[in-house]
Amino acid sequence: MEIRLSNEAIEWFRNEMEIENGDFIRFYARYGGSSPFHEGFSLGMNREQPHEMGVNVVVEDVHFYIEKSDEWFFNEHNLIVNVDNSLDELSYTYEK
């Protein structure tokens, strides 16, 4: 399992979340909404220090990660992070 981010997604994080070198961005399972794998859960994201990092990718000195305790949510799929230009929001897809 891996995390992949488009250049547009990195730029979105820089502009919208004002990320800086050395920051940690966590993707996590949150209660509410829906996902392709789990009704009642959706993908959340925030800036926080890791406790037990499971999957990690470093892009431009920023760590994007998933905690071990949240790996179940992705059902052994890669997380692809892009930007929906019509909404100017992040979009997520999952790839086996």
Look up the CATH number of the domain holding residue 19.
2.60.300.12
Residues of the domain holding 86: 3-95
Spatial contact of 39 and 29, defined as CB atoms under 8 Å apart: no
Q: How far apart are CA 44 and CA 24, in angstroms?
A: 14
Extract the tokens encoding 85.
């230009």
Task: Kindly report, residue by residue over 44-81, the tens digit of the pLDDT.
Answer: 999 999 999 999 999 999 999 999 999 988 888 999 99
- pTM of the entire predicted model: 0.89
Q: Which SS3 state, helix, strand or coil, does residue 53 take?
A: strand
Structural domain total, the chain: 1
Question: How confident is the model at residue 40, as a pLDDT?
Answer: 57
The pLDDT value recorded for residue 70 is 92
